[in-house]
Amino acid sequence: MNLKPKYWVLSISLGLVLCLVLPHYKASTNSPDSDDAKILHVLNRIAFGPRPRDMETVKAIGVEAYIQSQLTPASIPEPQTLTQELISLQTLQLNPVQLRTGYDPQMQRQPGQKPDPEAQKTARKRARTIVQQAIEGRLARAVASPRQLQEVMVDFWYNHFNVFAGKGLDRLWVGSYEEQAIRPYALGKFRDILGATAKHPAMLFYLDNWQNTAPNSSGARGRFKGLNENYARELMELHTLGVDGGYTQQDVIALARILTGWGFPRPRQPNVDSSGFYFDPSRHDFSDKVFLGQTIKGSGITEGEQALDILARHPATAHHISYQLAQYFVADNPPQSLVNNLAKRFLDTDGDIRAVLDTLFHSPEFFNSNYYNTKFKTPYQYVISALRATDTQIKDYRRVYGIVAQLGMPLYGYLTPDGYKNTQEAWLNPDALLRRISFVTILAADRFPGGKPMAIQQLDQTLGNNLSAKTKSVVESSPSQLRAALILGSPEFMKH
């Protein structure tokens, strides 16, 4: 973040003032049991925080009506401006095959043709458009879409099924991966999102299953030399059962054998599925396997479907997903009672995520005021919530992306498959706080490109008058040019 000298002064002043407010970084509200506090809690957890007038809107229709509308996002019309903006992001409309054909630099020349350095440079620059448009689409919807729960769940599921855009071909596919394997299933059945991610080329490439080959098969040659256990292991450890889910190394090997031949087509291969998934029987292990105590007969691609069925319906998966949802929406160390209830709901509904969330949002734990304003925002949540609170219309997506990246959370930029954490331990440190303060100093002083001047009273009302007496005292006794930044840099706003 490049601050002008006067903003460095403001930022340093703000940091010094915040030192008085943040000795133990424990936020508090004046009346946590009030209706406003309950509404703000819902907007902070089910959405990326309130925009101006959101508090009044939810108060008018009621918390229950708001929750039910968010659980059925198709019932909420999108703003025409957002719809048009998304339509203009043409790469988001393309399937994996179209993306590779049209944007892979290696596909821009005919077989046997010598590389043209200038043409290759142009092709690489064109390929970067995909990630840029994916970032713009994600940020635009997170800030402006009224379907906030859907956007929150896209953030949750992308981290759960993380793919790193910096790995080879995945730079071509992360936008399609989010658009076609994550977003449509964010509130659907877990089995559907599990299957969609398992078959998408982005995941197949990222965790190397595209190379997974039965050692003695006719297709075992070149880079396809033998078993690759990477995806099988992460599929159980991260995506389904959890690290303590009761599987063994023999189960990892069995699952890898089951998934041999799962990949994507060769360049220019004819008659391929537009999804980009391709099962190669010449590289598959057709022997019978025993997986998690169940015998799976050697039959080809259906073996993988059976394994995904077993994983999706396993009690350990229900517990693992329920724990992660409870941690995301309630507390870093969620109460076991809530996790158990969510796991039961998961099993009873065959992994219906909407039903599990409905149970979560109506649980006594979710509305326990002891959990209000206790989750420390990730950099992504913090930036999005600040842009929403100030009603900023994003004019420069690269700048917003750059800020999120400088705060330590570049979109599609997490290297390992476990994805970004959502706990305070991962994000609360002095350097992170100073970077956040620098950002809100610019936002408050510059009004940011696309920002709107906002009175302190209006900002306070947008945030539900949530400031503690101590923070209010600091804000009121500070110079006027610091007050908006103080509110956005307060411990109350850093948390949700």
260 in Cβ contact with 237 (< 8 Å): no
Overall size of the chain counted in residues: 496
pLDDT at 114: 72
| Cβ contact 217:283 at 8 Å | yes
CA terminus-to-terminus distance, the chain: 24
pLDDT higher for 120 or 413?
A: 413
Q: Answer whether 332's CB lies under 8 Å from 377's CB.
A: no
Beta bridge partners of 263: 278
The pLDDT of residue 436: 93
Q: Greatest CA span in the chain, whole angstroms?
A: 77
Are 140 and 394 within 8 A, CB to CB?
Answer: yes
Residue 417 near residue 423 (C-beta atoms within 8 A) = no
In this predicted structure, which of 104-113, 302-311, 334-343 has the lowest mean pLDDT? 104-113
Residue 61 is predicted with a pLDDT of 97
CB-CB contact of 281 with 300 (8 Å): yes
Q: Which two tokens stand for residue 350?
A: 């065959």
Q: What is the pLDDT of residues 379-389, one digit of tens each?
A: 999 999 999 99
- Report pLDDT for 21: 46
pLDDT tens readout for residues 309-338: 999 999 999 999 999 999 999 999 999 999
350-379 per-position pLDDT tens digit:
999 999 999 999 999 999 999 999 999 999
Cβ pair 285, 218 in contact under 8 A: no
d(CA 76, CA 72): 8
What is the reported pLDDT for 28?
45
Structure confidence at residue 476 (pLDDT): 87
* Per-residue model confidence (pLDDT) at position 202: 98
pTM of the model: 0.93
What does the CA dihedral 279, 284, 289, 291 come to, rounded to 10 degrees?
-40
**What single-letter amino acid sits at 424?**
Q
pLDDT at residue 2 greater than cutoff 80: no
Strands 262-263 and 278-279: antiparallel
Q: Which residue has the higher pLDDT, 440 or 205?
A: 205
pLDDT digits (tens, 9 = 90+) for 460-472: 888 888 888 888 8
Residue 487's closest CA among 144, 42, 27, 2? 27
DSSP code per residue over 219-286 = T-BTTB-S---HHHHHIIIIISS-TTSS--HHHHHHHHHHTTTEE-PPTT-SS--TT--EE-GGG---
For residues 431 and 437, what is the distance between their CA atoms, to the nearest angstrom? 10
**Predicted pLDDT of residue 7:** 52
Q: How far apart are CA 238 and CA 198, in angstroms?
A: 13
In the structure encoding, which two tokens stand for residue 455, read together?
A: 């009175």
**Mean pLDDT over residues 214-219, rounded?**
95
- Please tell me the distance from the alpha carbon of residue 202 to that of residue 175, in angstroms, as a whole number: 9
Q: Nearest-5° angle of CA 482, CA 487, CA 493?
A: 150
b/e sequence 211-228, b meaning 16+ C-beta within 10 Å: bbbbeebeebeeebeebb
pLDDT band at 20 (very low <50, low <70, confident <90, very high): very low
What pLDDT shows up at residue 227?
97
One-letter amino acid at 444 equals A
| Cα dihedral across residues 261, 263, 266, 270: positive or negative | positive
| Averaged pLDDT for residues 387-395 | 92
pLDDT value of residue 474: 86
Parse the chain into domains and list their residue ranges: 5-71+376-494, 315-371
Band of residue 122 on the pLDDT scale cut at 50, 70, 90: confident
67-77 average pLDDT score: 97
Residues forming a β-bridge with 448:
none
